[in-house]
Structure 1
């Protein structure tokens, strides 16, 4: 299913006739702050996710009592093995200092921009360093092609539906895998 999604992404998310934009012209670029595991452990009512440079568990490192960001954003991993990995975020959340943020202008679809960036960012990651990086200044200079807002909305709906189906299938596979492990363990008691 992931291979199918990737192939569909390459076909639907790029068209030479679309308008080219630099990220710096369509988004406010930012960064999170240093958040330690000790700070996370000290929280009394942790409700708001902390996104870091990790990609497992949707990038969630832990939870805090308060939040730094609220709304629709794009985050990306700035440092490490997963540098350039892009996520669409919605709601109240926090980011660490190794997590870049993009607040997309209202005349563009944030979810759609995240889809396009997922296809584009790996070309801009500096892998010639000991620690791969995709810093804010490089993100700012990335050029992407986008259709008008109505087409962005239509394509976003297609991908949201596709992603929902993928999630359901992945959870089903995970459930059957756990069931299989349980049954195998019961067979050899």
Structure 2
């Protein structure tokens, strides 16, 4: 793993580096399975690799990865956590849980709507950051 490879490598904290080869390709849901961030999710759609602290889920046909990602964002992993010092979750346990999945068409519509809302939130958060920076600048200029 290096900083100059072509393919991202993900770990519990997100993107941790790059490599010259990849282990997986396509849409997947990454789930932190060990440590303090256990149950945290990420969505990827490209060539990628993961390290041992992550599980990756690739849904079967007739299921939208993005819909399942948003459904799992509301999923409570707490009952599936084991381990005292270092918490763990295992797919063999939470993989038996049931999620509501409407028709693939509705899954795609719901996921698209939620994705658009998420993108709007990112834009608004960036705007707030920019406005706070502008406010700080103007306040500094006021007291010069």
* TM-score normalized by the length of structure 1: 0.67
Contact kept? 1:73, 1:102, Cα under 8 Å: yes
Gap regions ≥5 residues in structure 2: none
Q: Quick check: 145-154 or 120-129, which moved more?
A: 120-129
Deviations 1:11-64 (A, max 9, x none): xxxxxxxxxxxxxxxxxxxxxxxxxxxx33xx5x3232211112xxxx111222
The 5 A counterparts of 1:120-139 are 120-126=75-81, 129-139=84-94
Distance 1:185 1:63, change over 3 A: farther
The residue that corresponds to 2:105 in the other structure is 150
The residue that corresponds to 2:11 in the other structure is 52
**1:145 aligns to what SS in structure 2?**
coil
**1:131 aligns to what SS in structure 2?**
coil
Contact kept? 1:85, 1:121, Cα under 8 Å: no
Q: Which has the higher contact order (CA 8 A, sep 6+)?
A: 1
Contact kept? 2:30, 2:44, Cα under 8 Å: yes
**Rounded Cα–Cα distance in structure 1 between residues aligned with 2:92 and 2:110:** 28
Contact kept? 1:83, 1:125, Cα under 8 Å: no
Of 98, 123, 126, 2:53 maps to: 98
Question: Is the helix fraction higher in 1 or 2?
Answer: 1
**Rounded Cα–Cα distance in structure 1 between residues aligned with 2:139 and 2:24:** 45
Deviations 1:128-185 (A, max 9, x none): 5211211221232222121111111111111011011011111222233344455566
* TM-score normalized by the length of structure 2: 0.85
